[in-house]
Amino acid sequence: MQQAHTGARTGDRIAFDPLVELLTAILVRHGANRHVAGIIARNCAMCERDGCTSHGIFRMAGYVSSLDCGWVDGTAVPVIEDAAPAYCRVDAKNGFAQPALELARKTAVEKARHTGLAAIAIRGSHHLSALWPDVEPFAGDGLIAFSVVNSFRCTVPHGGDSPLFGTNPVAFAVPRQGEEPLVFDMATSAIPNGDVQIAARAGQQLPGGVAVDANGAPTTDPDAVLNGGALLTFGGHKGSALSMMVELLAAGLTGGHFSHEFDWSGHDGAQTPHTGQFVLLIDPQHAGGRPFGDRVETLIKDMRFAGVQRLPADRRYRNRRRAEQQGIHIGVEERARLDALLEG
Ligand code: NDP
């Protein structure tokens, strides 16, 4: 077994903090300020640590590309508006969504504790990551958190014949008694776009039934999807209805762009969807009946009794614990790509 290393420049394994430092340096090198770079770097390192490789360091090239071509503003200062007792709006000012959420976090938690609910409506934002890092910390603070973000036109609505929706993930986090939060986070497309890119890079085929080519014919070729093809929603009309909900909450409600509305054709290198994000917080302390925490544990116990061995997020937490002991593995090629971004 390899040893964990604490230096960012040694070996195949790197500890969390040095990885964040390395990723921060790359983003600063490409025009983000330290505050923004630090938030995105930490988010990216968390995904890599938890084994969410489609949204870990694999995404650094996309962040850098969008920064380099001026599509996203890595120095944007988001503006928060206290819209109502349980509602805050944030204009991300063409910056990343995560700093905008960070700005709203304290206010939203206070609102949720006071009123029982809090909505955060972020517009003018770019989100290229997994959603669980946005909801899990709220559950760590004892709140139920739900979030949706829309992305870019690449998914055909059920019954339609051309792409309109994004891959549009939904994430949900619930606090647990003495345990890590229960979290799920999933694209409403049959597979996320990152998996298509990873398959294309690895020369692998996609599963059947998840995508069509530029002519609308079913395909398992990731290149055919990336070159004019499109994804399908998971579960046919059901995933499509959820994806529609994501468009309406993350963009329609927040004031952001629908996935099909923004035009990045004039920005060679633009890779971060310019849309919106919606977050809803609920404080279960205000719930009636039996304590919510007990009900969560009862349901999990009953699921276990029904034979369920793996809960959503179990895999991530297992990866996290391993990374905390052994460091985060970074392959030689990935490391070379990061070094090139740091120098380039
Ligand atoms: P998966 O299908 O891999 O997983 C979806 C959820 O189900 C996860 O919470 C996962 O937990 C859980 N899960 C997976 N397999 C099992 C199982 N056998 N038993 C129980 N639970 C299971 O996710 P997707 O491929 O749909 O999405 C991947 C990521 O892509 C998400 O993080 C999403 O936010 C991100 N994304 C981001 C977009 C953006 O625009 N920013 C767009 C689209 C997607 P676990 O995590 O522990 O595996």
Q: What pLDDT, in 10s, does the model give residues 85-122?
A: 999 999 999 999 999 999 999 999 999 999 999 999 99
ipTM: 0.99
Task: Identify whether 54 is a catalytic site residue.
Answer: yes
Q: Are strands 211-212 and 230-232 parallel, antiparallel or unpaired?
A: antiparallel
Structure tokens at 210: 């998840």
Percent of the chain with pLDDT over 70: 97
What pLDDT does 12 receive?
85
What are 258-297's pLDDT values in tens digits?
Answer: 999 999 988 999 999 999 999 999 999 999 889 999 999 9
213 is catalytic: no
pLDDT score for 3: 36
Q: Is 148 a pocket residue for ligand 1 (Cβ < 6 Å)?
A: no
Burial class (CB in 10 A: 0-12, 13-18, 19+), 335: middle
* Residue pLDDT, tens place only, 53-87: 999 999 999 999 999 999 999 999 999 999 999 99
Measured distance CA(333)–CA(330) in Å, rounded: 8
Q: How high is the pLDDT of residue 11?
A: 55
Distance of CA 153 to the CA centre of its chain: 17
- Please write down the long-range contacts of 194-200, taking CB distance under 8 Å and 24 or more positions apart: 194/54, 194/55, 194/58, 194/59, 195/54, 196/222, 196/225, 196/226, 196/231, 197/54, 197/58, 197/222, 197/226, 198/53, 198/54, 198/58, 200/226
CA 130 – ligand 1 centroid, Å: 8
pLDDT band, very low/low/confident/very high, at 9 (cuts 50, 70, 90): very low
Rounded to whole angstroms, how far apart are CA atoms 256 and 272?
14
Q: Is the pLDDT of residue 5 over 60?
A: no
pLDDT per position as a tens digit, 188-242: 999 999 899 999 999 999 999 999 999 999 999 999 999 999 999 999 999 999 9
Position 31: which residue type?
G
Residues 6+ apart with CB under 8 A from 215: none
Regarding the beta carbon of 126 and ligand 1, being less than 6 Å apart is answered no
Ligand 1 pocket test target in 52, 170, 185 with most atoms within 8 Å of CB: 185
Domains and CATH numbers, the chain: 13-68+313-343 (1.10.1530.10), 80-189+233-286 (3.30.1370.60)
